[in-house]
A and B are shown apart, each in its own frame.
Chain A
Amino acid sequence: MKFKNPFSKNHDLDEEIEAHIALKTDYYLEQGMTEEEARKAALREFGNAERLKEECRDSWSMRVLSEWLQDIRFAWRQIRKQKGYSVLVAGTFAVCLGLNIAMFNIYNSTVINPRQYENENRIVNVYETYDDLWGDNRVATSRIYWKERSEQAKSFEAIAIFGVDWANVRILGIDEVSDFTGVARITPSLFEVLGTQPFTGRALSPGEGYNEALLNYDYWQKKFDGRSEILGKTIQINNSTFEIIGVMPKGFALPRSKLGNLPPDVYTNYGAMTFSFQPEWRIRPFGMCVALLKPGTTLSQAEIELNQINLNNGPNYPEQFRIEQEQNHKTVIIPLGKHLVRDFVYALDLLKFGLIAILLIGSINITSLLVSRHHQRSNEFASRIAVGASRFRIAKQLITESTLLAVCGVLGGFVLAILILNGLSAIGLFDNFTIPPRDQLDLESWVFGIILSVIIGLLVGAVSLLPMFRGSSHSHNQRTSSFGKSYKYFQGSSVAIQLSIALLLLISSILMFLSFRQAMEIDPGFEPDGLFTAGFRPAVNDDTKRLIIDKFFAETEKYPELQSVAISNWPPLKLGGLYLRSLYVEGDNSPTPYQCFNDTVSPSYFETLGIPILQGRTFNPSEVRNQSAVAIIDKKLADRHFPGQNPIGKRISIPSEGGSVSIEESDERNWLTIIGVTQTIRNRRLVEAPTHGTVFTNLHRQTPYWNGVMVRSQLNETRIAEILKKIVGIVAPETGLAMPKMMTALIEKQRAPQKALSVLCTIITSVSLTLCAIGVIGNVSYTVSTQTKEIGIRLTLGAKKFQLLLTSTKFWLKTGATGLICGAIAALFLSPFIETYLYEVEARSISTFLSAILFLFIIVSLASLISARKGMSLNPVEALRSE
């Protein structure tokens, strides 16, 4: 059947009628009438043209439309008649949809389509893995790997490498004192890889050796109020000068995890750094590597190519190649989006899992609510079928009703999604995301929401109509009785499925909560409360550095409110700065050196941080002054290398100790005598137990790369920072105080992924439990209410109420038990998967399983008991009359 434009049809009809009247007028003219009489007669005989048009239109498609309008009006009346039911259905739909849309928006704007960089779909992160070389399973790329790949790899359009470090920055002619701030060293190819262009000015010139710099947009705004005359000025970074050639775009962030990373204010050419391509730099982490895949190249193709390049070039560096082989070196490529959210990847994975569960519970709930409603109206349907209504017509009306409810649910869902996004953003859940999720719904999320609602609407609508089409309409009694029986089993199985899913979620949620509590209670090994951390880095030689450190401590003496002050190479939990060193133990002739962390600290370090000294003592002033060959080790190292022995007096050697970063072995060992054993601390990540022991050497023997400052005081962060800035201004005027932060804030930041996981888990579980409880209570009470006739008969025949109560609840208790057993089996089956999200919590914890099962069983028992009691409280006569 062809559909024609209704407007053109209307026009044709008008013309046709006009032609008819004109022809009839001509006919009457021929009969001898005057023109006026003929026209009048024709019009009179034609009758009401408008009514005729209406009738014609009726036969086109208007009837279908008016039927729909009638159905909509009817559905709206039904919805208003059953307000509670309608709110429940539309509300459940809105909650399911709202949560899913909100979480899709988060996932889409952080992983799938962050719209951060022009080429982001083809940008990959490249990193190295070694079994046990650097104390981390994900290591930055070395400068030699990067050089080899830039020259030899065919899978990429461009490969870039970058790193960020603290530096003293001063714009000549403008700044009087330097800012101690982050400076990014990037390869010019980074602009090509990311597809980024400067906001103003130009990108870095290709090649090395150009002393050019670009400013971060916010830094430019803050320092120069957005004035463009900054271009061409000279900026001094440590001891080198650079020309300012541009400003990066607003909101630009380097493609890396934000957690624990320093945001740079200045970007310079990597080549401006003085570095060599000496063999030892082949396996030394240098910078974050990002690359732009050629169109059509897959991740695995590129990964295979890079690993082949590693193997081809390895023999040029025999010593490093041997270590690569021993340490099972691999180069890994992952999409940039995954890399950026890696700290939150568990939280985002969990979202997918939780949302599917909510969708299932919600859909089952809505289906059973619709089925209950249809069941309740089965008498009405049977009567209508008996007087000639077609099942199709009734089904159409029911679909209209469900669609109308779904439309209300969809609108509610979108509103809820916007509220959730704003709410999560307001509580700061996304503060540590590299790319904060968009708090406005993006186009993809709208499309996702609409597609999802159509799919759920169609599925739920179709499933809820199925029981209606069973049995014959001629035998109403038989039909309703078979429908009733199948209905009971339908409700039973939906309760069982809901309970299984809810149990799975509840168990996961309890485990996540316990895991979060564990993470909250992690003992970092030191006392974080009242501990202030910062740093400064004088770019001077070791002797001057020693003088500066001494002067620094002398200045702090003038402030008695600073109870204790310490300096180390790198404050704990600031991420980075700590790498593994080779360790030799006197008397142990193992051919391969052990690995250990090495930090260089002032004698006050342990007291300031509150790290207990378990054996021996800290460095004394003369050992510091004389740069004595003594060391303090932590318990982990002592347990590893001196089990059951007293390590005090034993000797160890770290070849790279003494400021050199060479990993070459030395025959002439600088033996260090152990003078103390301390508690092991969490030095890198709070949730990551140290993989290796630590050797502390004294500050004057091995001067720190930069000075991590730790202060214990009752003063607040601002006051301590003010004092320290003043002191640093005196002892190292060319530098500044970096990263002033209370340790508690650092710990809070480190807990952010667990917090995000816990908040999301709580939301998902609360919603699913509420939906599940509504489903269980609704199903049980409705089924009991349909049995009032049976109850009436039994009560009349003399059955005891208690007995009936038992019979009625037995079915639901059995159903509940079945659902819970299935859920428990599923949880057991999925426990290895759940365990990957947990921190120091056993996924198969019996107490968690039992408490979750008990909790849900109590809900089912109470729901069935209360509903059954309500049924039993009816007078037998009233119960019989009810149907």
Chain B
Amino acid sequence: MAKHGFPQGTLEMMIMKVISSGSHHGWGIAQKIHLLSNEALKVEEGSLYPTLSRMQRQGLIEGKMAPSENNRQAKFYKLTPLGKLQLEEESKKWESMADAIARVMSASPESQF
């Protein structure tokens, strides 16, 4: 289970992906990443909130206080249009990067020179 050290920019990308389907609060985002990764990834609160804060400042997401399922006031985040564009771009980059890394990692020893 990876606790720390997501490659740079991936936490932001995952957050954007999670909230692209609907707004979520901080706990919800962390939980969803945890579940979607088959409990392989766990987002630390210490990374999550500063990242959310920074993304808000960059205009990628926006937050709004609203009552949560246990009736407490929590901040629900959703993507901004800029965030949507950024997510598309990041997804493409990630796919091509992952593909390239996968090809490198799956190459047979003979093909190496």
User: Interface residues, chain A, CB within 8 Å of chain B?
Assistant: 1, 12-13, 15-20, 22-24, 26-27, 45-48, 51-52, 55-56, 58-60
Contact = CB atoms under 8 A, between A and B. Distances in A.
A26 B46 contact: no
A47 B46 CA distance: 7
Contacts of A13: 49
A52 B65 contact: no
Interface stretch (B7-15, B51-59, B79-87, B94-102): B51-59
B46 A55 contact: yes
A59 B75 contact: no
B44 interface: yes
B50 A16 contact: no
Of listed B28, B31, B74, residue having the most chain A CB within 10 A: B74
Contacts of B68: 19, 23
B110 interface: no
A23 B53 contact: no
B50 A59 contact: yes
B25 A20 contact: yes
A23 B46 contact: no
Interface string B33-66: 0000000000011100110011001010001010
Nearest to B57: A59
A855 B44 CA distance: 77
A58 to B, nearest CB: 7
How many of chain B's residues touch chain A, expressed as a range?
20 to 34
Contact of A52 (B27, B49, B59, B74): B49
B65 A20 contact: no
Contacts, number: 71
Contacts of B69: 23
Nearest to A16: B75
A19 B49 contact: no
Nearest to B67: A19
7 contacts: A1-B57, A18-B72, A19-B73, A20-B74, A48-B46, A55-B49, A59-B54
Of listed B25, B27, B54, B75, residue having the most chain A CB within 10 A: B27
B73 to A, nearest CB: 5
Contacts of B72: 15, 18-19, 22-23
A26 to B, nearest CB: 6
A45 B45 contact: yes
A687 B62 CA distance: 79
Given A23-B27, A56-B50, A1 B70 contact: no
B59 A24 contact: no
B68 to A, nearest CB: 5
B65 A22 contact: no
Nearest to B30: A20
B46 A51 contact: yes
Contacts of B73: 15, 19
Contacts of A27: 31
Contact of B49 (A1, A23, A56): A56
B46 A16 contact: no
Contacts of B28: 23
A27 B59 CA distance: 31
B45 A46 contact: yes
A27 B50 CA distance: 23
A55 B46 CA distance: 8
Contacts of A45: 45
Given A55-B50, A56-B50, A59-B50, A20 B57 contact: no
A627 B44 CA distance: 120
Given A26-B70, A59-B53, A60-B57, A52 B45 contact: yes
Nearest to A56: B53
A24 B53 contact: no
A56 B55 CA distance: 11
B34 to A, nearest CB: 11
A783 B65 CA distance: 63
Nearest to A24: B27
B108 to A, nearest CB: 42
A55 B44 CA distance: 13
Contacts of A23: 25, 27-28, 68-70, 72, 74
A19 B63 CA distance: 14
Nearest to A4: B56
Q: Which 6 A-B pairs have the closest CB atoms?
A: A19-B74, A55-B50, A23-B27, A19-B72, A56-B53, A59-B54
Given A23-B72, A47-B44, A16 B57 contact: no
B27 A20 contact: yes
A13 B56 CA distance: 13
A48 B45 CA distance: 10
Given A23-B27, A56-B53, A15 B45 contact: no
A530 to B, nearest CB: 86
